[in-house]
Structure 1
Amino acid sequence: MLLDVAVIGGGPAGLAAALVLGRSRKRTALFDGGTPRNATAAYIGGFVTQDRIAPASFRHTAHEDLRAYPSVDLHLDTMVDRIERAGAKFRILASGAEYTARRVLLATGMIDEPIPLPGSRELWGTSLFQCPYCHGYEVADRPLAFLAPEPGEAPWVQLLRSWSRDVMLFTNASVEVEPACRVALAEASIPIEERRIIGLARTGRQLTGIVVDGNVTIPRSALFFRPVQRQAPVVAGLALALDDRNYVRVGEDDYETSIRGIHAAGDLMTHYHGALAAAAAGSKAAHSINHGLTVDLVGQGLL
């Protein structure tokens, strides 16, 4: 079967795009590899009408919405291995099967590299977070920490003051804080801990402290950090044009990548990450895809 659109990725961007395309009566296949980026998080924060919903519940509800549209097929737990040009169309190779699509929308998000600290995997999504807008409210008024990955990121710790007066910057003995930043943090009474982190103290999946050289434990309830990120293999394999932060370059209005007919939406094309923002981008990209595709099909006498 020839697809109008293959949506690669089943997070908020892909789900929102598939909904728009289903309502536009385009033959759409949504491929979801089954390993969501927020799988370990207890909830999604800040999504209007869905605030604090569990990620699995969010996806289940979205799948039920999409099943109401006969032109949308869900391929759950199906990993797309490769995308190839096939004339004016695209060949999608996924879990041993082959599909052909007129357009492709990449909505794979980004892959977060684990923070290089002992015990971090067990705390990711419950006490170790990337986004305070998603998770800051639930740890408000507790002792918070920010781990700076590079000097330019150190001032970011001030943002945590929105949620707690007790915030601290950690450098893990690997980041030299710039003098102007030191002055600003001192004036704001934000301490800087520059010793090497040797462990994370926890009770179950709850962080209780950060252990630094000398076996000193500094009480903290949550640690925020900016992880190193990389594109999903299927995206990297396309050799698309990327910006200087390794996000996929897209057109401002049409979300088209450097390969004509392949579009991208969500976290893989912007540093501004969040479920609601990703869903909005997916919806906007789908509108553009449907418009261009419809014009083409009408011109070919197929609509």
Structure 2
Amino acid sequence: MNKVDVAIIGGGPAGLSAGLILGRARKQTMIIDEGRPRNAVTREAHGFLTRDGISPSEIRRIAKEQLRVYPSVSHAEGTIVSISGEDGNFLLMTAAGMKITSKKLLFAVGMKDRKLGIPGLDEVYGKSAFVCPYCDGWELRDEPLVVISRGAALMHFAPLLSGWTQRFVVCTNGPDELSEAERDELRDHQIPLYDQPIRAILSSEGMVNHVVLENGTEIPCTGIFFKPELVPGTDLPQVLGCRISETGVIAVDEFGKSSIPGVYAAGDASSLMHQSIAAAASGALAAAAINGELNKEAWQRKQ
């Protein structure tokens, strides 16, 4: 049986950042990670001060190296399949049968991509097809792009992307879910709109060159931004009774505390700000809150 103060489920920027804060606070901490990060396809992470352009895998490698300084922080590779208990005494079980008892929990497991079923998308994802212009817009500035999105998400994204390039067309891959006023808005900005299903994305060595529609239309482009369909990395927070927001993430306060005592969340598990630096920051905040809670509980027991 492994006994820790804090079990962190997920070893991305949020979980590793939390581990650093807790290690420095002298808390027994275990980071449990299945080793299949969502950004594994990403070659470079951007917008992370002092780490701009570094690969996500290198960020993880450096983080783990720095965490070795703190003997109270340990790592385990595995998938948590069950959690029981309550604040101060949680019992976690991995798929391999390892048991962990923990006083507090931090979910930093993030989200997972649901397959969109577009032929050729997997070949370009992370190479010339991306989801976040803050992360990859600079590299595609002023380039001819295809945006794959629809409805309200599209009408938020189109004005945002226009700061990097105004040379883009929209493919909704089926019904556009727009009002006539919204279609007029796109026309006013000279943005072509195609609602035909996408037959295939053509590329060479991961670099897109055309998007082909079912009616045979070929749209040349050098990059793609698309709206991913995301699902939670685990359903365990819901099993524990954590409140889930309307956007599908764990509802937390400004310090990452969920509706269940002793349970916290950070990173993509509790936010729509899918950037490494935002995840790392939220992990640090949650860890500080957890440490403060543990210290206060220990202080009160001595009274």
Flag whether TM exceeds 0.5 (same fold). yes
Contact 1:248 1:257 in 2 (8 A): yes
Contact 2:8 2:30 in 1 (8 A): yes
How much has 1:84 moved relative to structure 2?
A: 1.3
CA separation of 1:300/1:138 partners in 2, compared to 1, >3 Å: closer, same or farther?
same
Write the distance in 1 (CA, Å) between the matches of 2:92 and 2:113: 25
Helix, strand or coil at the partner of 1:38: helix
- TM norm structure 1: 0.94
State the one-letter code of the partner of 2:138: Y
Q: Which residue of 2 aligns with 1:245?
A: 247
5 Å matches for 1:77-96?
Answer: 77-85=77-85, 88-94=88-94, 95-96=96-97
Q: Which residue of 1 aligns with 2:127?
A: 126
Contact 2:86 2:261 in 1 (8 A): no
Contact 1:154 1:181 in 2 (8 A): no
* Deviating more after overlay: 276-285 vs 291-300: 291-300
How much has 1:54 moved relative to structure 2?
A: 0.7
Helix, strand or coil at the partner of 1:152: helix
Q: Deviations over 1:54-89 (max 9, x none)?
A: 1111100000010110111111x3222222116741
Q: Which residue of 2 aligns with 1:33?
A: 34
Q: Which residue of 1 aligns with 2:112?
A: 111
Write the distance in 1 (CA, Å) between the matches of 2:147 and 2:240: 35
- The reply to whether residue 146 of structure 1 matches residue 147 of structure 2 is yes
Q: Which residue of 2 aligns with 1:272?
A: 273
Contact 2:14 2:280 in 1 (8 A): yes
* Deviating more after overlay: 279-288 vs 231-240: 231-240
CA separation of 1:86/1:287 partners in 2, compared to 1, >3 Å: closer, same or farther?
closer
Contact 2:26 2:72 in 1 (8 A): yes
Give the % identical residues: 34
Contact 1:27 1:71 in 2 (8 A): yes
Q: Which residue of 1 aligns with 2:197?
A: 196
5 Å matches for 1:152-231?
Answer: 152-155=152-155, 156-231=157-232
CA separation of 1:214/1:71 partners in 2, compared to 1, >3 Å: closer, same or farther?
same
State the one-letter code of the partner of 1:92: L
Write the distance in 1 (CA, Å) between the matches of 2:16 and 2:100: 19
Write the distance in 2 (CA, Å) between the matches of 1:124 and 1:238: 34
Write the distance in 2 (CA, Å) between the matches of 1:79 and 1:106: 12
Contact 2:108 2:265 in 1 (8 A): yes
Write the distance in 2 (CA, Å) between the matches of 1:202 and 1:236: 40
How much has 1:147 moved relative to structure 2?
A: 1.4
Contact 2:131 2:228 in 1 (8 A): yes
5 Å matches for 1:284-295?
Answer: 284-295=285-296
Contact 2:86 2:262 in 1 (8 A): no
Contact 2:88 2:102 in 1 (8 A): no
Give structure 1 stretches of 5+ with no counterpart: none
Write the distance in 1 (CA, Å) between the matches of 2:87 and 2:291: 20
Q: Deviations over 1:149-179 (max 9, x none)?
A: 4x21222222222222211111223223222
Write the distance in 1 (CA, Å) between the matches of 2:143 and 2:4: 50
Give structure 2 stretches of 5+ with no counterpart: none
Q: Deviations over 1:103-144 (max 9, x none)?
A: 010000011112220121222211221111111111222111
Helix, strand or coil at the partner of 1:271: coil
State the one-letter code of the partner of 1:91: L
Write the distance in 2 (CA, Å) between the matches of 1:272 and 1:86: 29
- The reply to whether residue 56 of structure 1 matches residue 54 of structure 2 is no
Write the distance in 2 (CA, Å) between the matches of 1:86 and 1:287: 20
CA separation of 1:32/1:163 partners in 2, compared to 1, >3 Å: closer, same or farther?
same
Write the distance in 1 (CA, Å) between the matches of 2:67 and 2:80: 20
State the one-letter code of the partner of 1:66: L
Contact 1:157 1:168 in 2 (8 A): no
